[in-house]
């Protein structure tokens, strides 16, 4: 299974200002501007030609934040159940799978490395209508 490092999470204080900066000034492509919960909004942008994206949102990385908004490094897989099974088999303490949005891209799990760095794993099966497998 491929484990793609595709997302870097950047905490911001003003999501609209950050979106304007990355999209209008830097020329990033706007992939998604979504609000998966009433209290969480994220904007996902990709630099032209890059396979790694930036996700911005207020308080996405904050001490004491729920794991769903704390992952500072993010891996993308096409089968999150298999990914969790693999992590657990290797002795990694992975969270239960959380469904933040029923659409593709809305399933996550979380774990920490030995130094306490937070990792998120997101399931994405399709990108622009094409399978990632």
* Total Cβ atoms within 10 A of residue 8: 13
d(CA 29, CA 13): 21
The pTM (predicted TM-score) of the whole model is 0.59
Mean predicted lDDT score pLDDT of the chain: 82
Q: Is residue 38 part of a domain?
A: yes
Which CATH number is 41's domain given? Answer: 3.10.180.10
> Domain check: are 54 and 78 in the same one?
no
What is the structure's pLDDT at 106?
85
Cα distance between residue 97 and residue 99, in whole Å: 7
Does some domain include residue 88?
A: yes
Domain that holds residue 80: 70-126
Same domain, 83 and 36: no
Q: What's the pLDDT at 75?
A: 83
Give yes or no for residue 132 having a pLDDT over 80. Answer: no
Statement to judge: residues 6 and 45 lie in one domain: yes
Cα-flanking dihedrals φ and ψ of residue 17, to 5°?
-65, -45
- Whether 58 shows a pLDDT value over 50: the answer reads yes
Q: Do residue 111 and residue 83 come from a single domain? A: yes
């Amino acid at each position: 299974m491929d484990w793609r490092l595709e997302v870097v999470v950047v905490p911001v204080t003003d999501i609209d200002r950050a979106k304007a900066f990355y999209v209008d000034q830097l020329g990033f492509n706007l992939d998604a501007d979504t609000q998966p919960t009433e209290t969480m909004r994220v904007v996902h942008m990709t630099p032209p030609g890059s396979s790694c994206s930036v996700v911005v949102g207020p308080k996405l990385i904050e001490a004491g934040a729920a794991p769903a908004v704390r992952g500072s490094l993010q891996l993308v897989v096409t089968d999150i159940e298999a990914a969790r099974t693999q992590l657990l088999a290797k002795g990694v303490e992975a969270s239960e799978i959380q469904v933040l949005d029923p659409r593709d891209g809305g399933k996550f799990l979380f774990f920490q490395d030995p130094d306490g760095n937070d990792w998120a794993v997101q399931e994405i099966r399709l990108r622009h209508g094409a399978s990632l497998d």
